[in-house]
Amino acid sequence: MGWYRRHARVLPWRADPQREDDRGRVDPYHVLVSEAMLQQTQVATVVDYFQRFIRALPTVFELAAADEQRVLSLWQGLGYYRRARHLHRAARALVDQHGGTIPRNAAKLAALPGIGPYTAGAVASIAFQQREAVVDGNVARVLARLEAIEAVIDEPATRRHLWRLAAALLPSRRPGDFNQAMMELGATLCRPRSPACGDCPVAALCRAHQCGLERQLPRRRPRRQPQTVEHHIVAIERGGRWLLEKRPDDGLWAGMWQLPVNETLDGEPAAPALVGWVHSRYGLDIAPPATAANFTHRTTHRTIHFHLWQASTHGGRLRRGTAALWRRLDQLEDLPLANPQRCAITTLQGC
DNA sequence: AATGCGGGGCG
DNA sequence: CGCCCAGCATT
């Protein structure tokens, strides 16, 4: 804890840990938003998003009153957009059922959408000084090394063991700071690849370090190989405006907007196939599209080869089941777009 | 118990 | 490149 007080990073959702009197002054709403953003996302990536989000929606009431599209726009580029929709729904539940106050109790927190065991423990301990343990990726790695746990860390039995360990180590004084200290240790010293055991305050207690095993631990289950798929973006222009549509409410990039994308054509599509597809799906007649660009987008689970095609249409009546509209490319600020779509649109603007 | 869900940092 | 990140919901 002394180490944490000296080395903790100053972060916008955190009270300055070097100022004793700041404890308890954190805004629970800030903690909630930051923890949602931090799920599977590194601190450095989150900082700017967090500041922009809080500036735009400073309290749970503004978040609850906001349109989902606006929340997604504030999340645009951060990934895992389900988190944004869950957070939005959680805010509405809090305003409707709790008068806008965030519960201090971990079980009540965990009942909210998007809040699981980790986030519930984090909010309860950090925002409300409740004695709740947390195990995130950092804590799991720190504990696995401290105790030289060789079991595969992703297994449910191992997770349960780690939670029991974390709970046993948790002090009754300042549990929130303890939890943050463990995570900070994992993020800054007890790193996955190159652990800085020389600087670690608990190296003398670390069984992995004593055995020289720190680089082998924790053990993880091998991941499935990412699939490679082809997505064909057909950018359709009519009189300076382009067709945009909203993606379905589930699956990849749910609720985000896009230029029309064909995700089913395998192999070499050829422009004629896309002409037929646009006709059948949108009811629009286009000239055979021309290639504008190709780029690759990688996520954890798949590699997507994007083929950007450009076409124009004159007549035809738009047929569409879900939301679609024609827009100038410099007037898309209100439409949340995932990164590959932003990339495609930037390319078109350069054409 | 397994899978889907983004995007970026870093060696 | 590959691995991992202040996880969660769904099946």
A110, closest nucleotide (Cα–C1'): C8
Distance from residue A196's CA to nucleotide B11's C1', rounded to whole Å: 14
Pairing of strands A302-312, A290-298: antiparallel
- Tell the burial category of A173 from Cβ atoms under 10 Å away from its Cβ (0-12, 13-18, 19+): exposed
Q: What is the pLDDT of residue A19?
A: 61
Please give the protein residue whose CA is closest to the C1' of the nucleotide C6. Answer: A38
Q: What is the pLDDT of residue A226?
A: 85
Written in H, E and C, the secondary structure of A228-252 is EEEEEEEEEEECCEEEEEECCCCCC
C-beta of residue A155 within 8 angstroms of C-beta of residue A218: no
Look-up of token digits 């990536």: A45
C-beta of residue A36 within 8 angstroms of C-beta of residue A54: no
Q: What is the pLDDT of residue A1?
A: 83
- pLDDT, tens digit, 9 for 90 and up, residues A190-200: 999 999 999 99
User: Which bases of chain B are under 7 A from a protein CB atom?
Assistant: 1, 3-11
- A68-104: burial string, b at 16+ Cβ within 10 Å, e else: eebbbbbbbebbebebbbbbbbbbbebbeeeeeebbe
Q: Does the domain made of A133-222 have the CATH classification 3.40.50.2300? A: no
Question: Measuring CA to CA, how many Å separate A14 from each of A85, A197, A348?
Answer: 24, 26, 41
- Tell the burial category of A35 from Cβ atoms under 10 Å away from its Cβ (0-12, 13-18, 19+): buried
- Tell the burial category of A244 from Cβ atoms under 10 Å away from its Cβ (0-12, 13-18, 19+): buried
- List of A residues 16-55 with CB within 7 A of strand B: 40-42, 44-45
Q: What is the pLDDT of residue A100?
A: 97
Rounded to the nearest 10 degrees, how much is the dihedral formed by the CA atoms of A110, A112, A113, A116? -10
- List of A residues 234-293 with CB within 7 A of strand C: none
Q: How many CA atoms lie within 13 A of A308 on its CB side?
A: 20
C-beta of residue A209 within 8 angstroms of C-beta of residue A32: no
What CATH number does the domain located at A227-350 have? 3.90.79.10
CATH T-level fold of A1-132: Endonuclease III; domain 1 (1.10.340)
> Where in chain A is CATH 3.90.79.10?
227-350
A336 CB contact with strand C at below 7 Å:
no
DSSP state of A9: P
A299 CB contact with strand B at below 7 Å:
yes
A192 CB contact with strand C at below 7 Å:
yes
Which residues of chain A fall short of a pLDDT of 50? none
Annotated active-site residue A214? The verdict is no
> Where in chain A is CATH 1.10.1670.10?
133-222
Distance from residue A140's CA to nucleotide C10's C1', rounded to whole Å: 24
Amino acid letter for position A31: V
Distance from residue A246's CA to nucleotide B6's C1', rounded to whole Å: 18
Q: What is the pLDDT of residue A52?
A: 98
| Distance separating alpha carbons of residues A31 and A183, to the nearest angstrom | 15
> Where in chain A is CATH 1.10.340.30?
1-132
- pLDDT, tens digit, 9 for 90 and up, residues A83-134: 999 999 999 999 999 999 999 999 999 999 999 999 999 999 999 999 999 9
Q: What is the CA radius of gyration of chain A?
A: 24
Three-state DSSP at A327 gives strand
Which pair of structure tokens corresponds to residue A14?
Answer: 């955190």
User: Angle CA(A325)–CA(A327)–CA(A330) in degrees, nearest 5?
Assistant: 150
Distance from residue A251's CA to nucleotide B3's C1', rounded to whole Å: 12
C-beta of residue A337 within 8 angstroms of C-beta of residue A257: yes
Three-state DSSP at A154 gives coil
